[in-house]
Structure 1
Amino acid sequence: MMDTQAKIEAIVTGHPVVLFMKGTAQFPQCGFSGNAINILRASGVDNLHTVNILEDEEVRQGIKQFSNWPTIPQLYINGEFVGGSDIMTEMFQSGELQALVKA
């Protein structure tokens, strides 16, 4: 079986836009994850791949090591770690996020 870091790497590089979150896009399980989904929708993301970390304890722990970032949600675009809810909000307000997802 693939180790957790390799599994996360495969998810991150296998999709243009990946959000590791609590819950699903339809039913976010925390306010920050809900905020992240709303921002991505407003940014025009139509190819969003979400990973519900509540369903996978290994990924839940492993993603924090993978990104060296302590909190969820975590956004990846084109294999690069972008940030969490606060960073996404700032980038959305500046227009940077919309440009990134269109690129």
Structure 2
Amino acid sequence: MFRPILNSSLRIARPTASTVVKARLRAYRYLSQEARSTIQKAIEAKPLVLFMKGTPDAPQCGFSRAVVQVLDLHGVPPEKLQSYNVLEDPELRNGIKEFSEWPTIPQVYVNGEFIGGCDILIGMHQSGELETLLENSNIIPKAAEEPAQTTSS
């Protein structure tokens, strides 16, 4: 889906006279507007979007597995989650890093907004922020509040 769009975004810059001393080619990637638009549409397609190595049923790295486990702990329904296996598309793997300006995968988006990677998600889970975010984003139902307990004398 992403490969044809992202293929054309690689630009090679040769060293200028001032950098001849370094004597090496440098590759600079620029995400084309078309590729940026395609990724933007992908992250807005579902309330929760996960770019990962592997699939939720078969994660291919420990960090992706940890993110899937955290989302499972919160009961994220499959119909609210869209995942993309970056191992199937190397151009997507690089393009999503440029898009988010985040160097690692997995990457989590909620309602089109970049949340972070595995470490951020686990930190949010531990602090309770993730549950609040998922509830406020209508991804998971709000937890029923416990009634106030009264003490009898």
For Structure 1 versus Structure 2, the TM-score category normalised by the shorter chain is over 0.9
Q: What TM-score, normalized by structure 1, do the two folds share?
A: 0.95
Amino acid at match of 2:92: V
Q: Which has the higher contact order (CA 8 A, sep 6+)?
A: 1
Of structures 1 and 2, the larger Rg is shown by 2
Find the partner of 1:77 among 88, 110, 119: 110
Report the aligned-residue RMSD.
1.1
Amino acid at match of 1:23: G
Query: Which stretches of structure 1, 4 residues or more, deviate above 6 A after TM superposition?
Result: none
User: What CA deviation, in whole Å up to 9, does each residue of 1:23-73 have, x standing for no partner?
Assistant: 000000000000000001112211211100011122111000100000000
Number of residue pairs the alignment of both structures matches = 103
Find the partner of 1:31 among 62, 71, 87: 62
For the 8 Å contact 1:75–1:84, the answer to whether it is kept is yes
For the 8 Å contact 1:4–1:59, the answer to whether it is kept is no
Q: Secondary structure at the match of 1:88?
A: helix
> Which residue does 1:65 correspond to in 2?
98
**Structure 2 residue ranges without an equivalent (≥5):** 6-33, 137-153
Percent identity reads: 50
Q: What TM-score, normalized by structure 2, do the two folds share?
A: 0.65
Choose between structure 1 and 2: higher helix proportion.
1
